[in-house]
Amino acid sequence: MAQLINGKEISAKVKESVKTETKEFIEKTGVVPGLAVILVGDDPASKIYVGNKKKACAEVGFNSFEHILPESTEQGELLDLIEKLNHDPSVHGILCQLPLPKHIDERAIINAISPKKDVDAFHPANVGKIMIGDYDFLPCTPAGVMELIHSTGVSVGGKKCAVIGRSNIVGKPMAMLLLHENGTVTICHSKTKDLEKECREADILVAAVGRAKLIKGDMIKEGAVVIDVGMNRDENGKLCGDVDFSEAEKRASYITPVPGGVGPMTIAMLMKNTLTAAKLSLKG
């Protein structure tokens, strides 16, 4: 039976560390790290995420700036707001909650955020830095996944790693982070010919595809580390991941639950990135 990887506990440790470091940083520099969060529209899930980010900022000692805009906001208005925040010295991190309404070009918005304030690490300049292993920020979810893997004491070096999903937000950067730690990485997706085989060979399996219980127990290698990034609803409307947890925990050595696994880590890593951005702002 697998050991549970408790994302709530590990994220609390990360936030406590950020809180201590922030206190020292403020005492030394007089600068209070500031995070600006932009939400366009009234998507209920996005509202919850924004509320959680505001709460986390208060926990670690950051200033939090909320910009809630109506669904009808034009792209030009949003770009103007980002430009203003780019030049605001009290704002060190800018996060625009995705998804955006269909009439707004997400890529244009991501590209407009200053790479020095891009605490999501979505800007092409930051993506390129991650590719070559010389980065200031890491995308929050993949960075959180790495913390969870490290917490098990299992070394990534030399292990076969399978990442299920190839999104720009999780799948692709996740593969790069595993590669940076000398994992042998396979990225699987909808066109992968034998997904079961790829999964069964993986010592470390990261599922990030957004399909409820896609990964069955018999697809898990005995003793594998299983990280479930998925957040779905099952046939009963209950929250579940991409991995069939009840089956997978019988074969894995370590596994994350949904909820309470990867989710809390994402916000903890956002706090870490915002503190890094505040430090970088003093270097000009």
Domain with 175, as residue range(s), is 140-262
- 124 in a structural domain: no
- 275 in a structural domain: no
Query: Which pair of structure tokens corresponds to residue 262?
Result: 């990867």
**What mean pLDDT, rounded, does the chain reach?**
96
Same domain, 148 and 242: yes
- 274 in a structural domain: no
* Whether the predicted model's global pTM rises above the 0.75 cut: yes
Q: How far is the C-alpha of 231 from the C-alpha of 257, rounded, in Å?
A: 10
- 89 in a structural domain: yes
Place of tokens 């009290």: 90
Query: What's the pLDDT tens digit per position in 230-282?
Result: 999 988 889 999 999 999 999 999 999 999 999 999 999 999 999 999 999 99
User: What percent of the chain lies above the pLDDT cut of 70?
Assistant: 100
Q: pLDDT at position 49, please?
A: 86
- 59 in a structural domain: yes
- 147 in a structural domain: yes
Same domain, 163 and 66: no
Query: What's the pLDDT tens digit per position in 143-196?
Result: 999 999 999 999 999 999 999 999 999 999 999 999 999 999 999 999 999 999
Q: Under a CB-based contact definition with an 8 Å cutoff, are residues 224 and 190 in contact?
A: no
Same domain, 174 and 208: yes
Q: Under a CB-based contact definition with an 8 Å cutoff, are residues 160 and 203 in contact?
A: yes
- Count CA atoms closer than 13 A to 97's CA, side-chain side: 26
Residue 17 identity: S
Same domain, 54 and 101: yes
Q: pLDDT at position 43, please?
A: 84
Counting the structural domains of the chain, the total is 2
Same domain, 44 and 146: no
Q: pLDDT at position 284, please?
A: 65
Query: What's the pLDDT tens digit per position in 17-31?
Result: 999 999 999 999 999
Query: Which pair of structure tokens corresponds to residue 240?
Result: 């579940």
Q: How confident is the model at residue 45 (pLDDT cuts 50, 70, 90)?
A: confident
Same domain, 145 and 258: yes
CATH number at residue 244: 3.40.50.720
In 10 A of CB 129, how many CB atoms? 17
Same domain, 99 and 177: no
At residue 155's C-alpha, the angle toward residues 149 and 161, to 5°, is 70
The values of phi and psi at residue 185, to 5°, are -110, 135
Which of 85, 117, 149 is the last residue in one of the domains? 117
Q: How far is the C-alpha of 102 from the C-alpha of 109, rounded, in Å?
A: 13
The residue ranges of DSSP E strands in 99-216, in sequence order, are 160-164, 184-188, 204-207
Residue 146 identity: M
- 276 in a structural domain: no
Q: How far is the C-alpha of 199 from the C-alpha of 224, rounded, in Å?
A: 10
pLDDT, mean of residues 192-217: 97
- 16 in a structural domain: no
User: What percent of the chain lies above the pLDDT cut of 90?
Assistant: 94
Q: How confident is the model at residue 221 (pLDDT cuts 50, 70, 90)?
A: very high
- Tell me the helix, strand and coil percentages in the chain, rounded to 5: 45, 15, 40
User: Which residues are catalytically annotated?
Assistant: 53, 97, 120
